Chain A
Amino acid sequence: MSKYIKFFLVGIFFGIVLVKSEAVSWYRIFEMFKFQSFHMYGIIGTAITTGILLLLISKKMSIKTTEGRLIRVPKKDRGFKRYIIGGSIFGLGWALSGACPGPMYILLGTGAFSIIIVIAAAIFGTYMYGVLKDKLPH
């Protein structure tokens, strides 16, 4: 049980940050795709910049994980079609529902219970991808 506590705490921190940043708001996603505010671009831009720096520093200093291995980011498979097509399909849903897979759960915590429908549909969508996977271009 105790090995899960740190993940639970990271989750709490993640939930708080996304609510306080307003990135969980449907309105902010709409505004982003309308290019009417810098807010979301600022969040994503500074997140990536900080992420790049943290990864560079950890590589330079050979920082090890709590399990004793070097910090390593999983490599994405090569390819183009799956990323551009899959990404576009996700983008359509993201703009419509205003929620990506992190914020969905966080919104549940804020008391927006109707998001359960979006979560259930997302689980079903993932299931259908699993069913159709071998027939799709990757």
Chain B
Amino acid sequence: MDYILEPWPWYVSGPLIAIVMFLLLYFGRTFGMSSNLRTLCSMGGAGKRVAFFDFDWKAHRWNLTVVLGAIVGGFIAHHLLSNPTDIALSQQTITDLNELGFENAGKSLLPDELFSWENIFSIKGMLILIIGGFLVGFGTRYAGGCTSGHAITGLSSLQLPSLVAVIGFFIGGLIMIHLIFPILF
């Protein structure tokens, strides 16, 4: 039981993620989480104004069902299958985060400095989450996929566009962490 409660090593988690991809392909679908954002826009009636959202969202209910499952899975894993819930970050990461003003690095899944209610109700805190989310939603659709669609599914099927997209993910991520974070925090 300890093996389940402790964090799972990368060589267990990685192959299990590939199995998620394979199961969805086996069921005649595909592994793509960001598509749900488009489906949600369509569900909300965006198809009346914007042609991009004018499609039969009901055909994508299977993927929204995966999302519902993922929420339940998140609950089960965090509340019933995790002890401890600390993240074993590298010492250097903890030092760097302390210097940026993040205390208690790794003591929870998300830093209070960004996700606590207290922080969200500050202008800066709110803007960080809104801009971060906006860039994720805009960028994934522009690139036609996210980590699941491009990095896992696209690279597993050796598609060049996905390699370009993943290189893009890293260009953006490295700029944010190395150039923008020192200004923001």
Contact = CB atoms under 8 A, between A and B. Distances in A.
A80 B93 CA distance: 34
A63 B22 CA distance: 11
B155 A22 contact: no
In this complex, the interface size class of chain A, counting residues with CB under 8 Å from chain B, is: 35 or more
A91 B85 CA distance: 26
A4 to B, nearest CB: 5
Interface residues of B, number: 124
A118 to B, nearest CB: 4
A90 B78 contact: no
A53 B53 CA distance: 35
Nearest to B69: A11
Residue with the greatest number of chain B CB neighbours at <10 A, chosen from A47, A52, A71:
A47
Contacts of B30: 73-74
16 contacts: A11-B73, A13-B20, A34-B177, A36-B92, A65-B26, A73-B25, A73-B30, A86-B140, A87-B169, A88-B172, A89-B139, A90-B138, A96-B128, A112-B109, A126-B37, A130-B141
9 tightest CB-CB pairs across the interface, nearest first?
Answer: A11-B69, A87-B168, A15-B73, A91-B172, A109-B74, A125-B137, A93-B135, A51-B156, A46-B14
Interface of A: 3-4, 6-34, 36-52, 54-55, 58, 63, 65-67, 69, 71-80, 82-102, 104-112, 114-115, 117-131, 133, 136
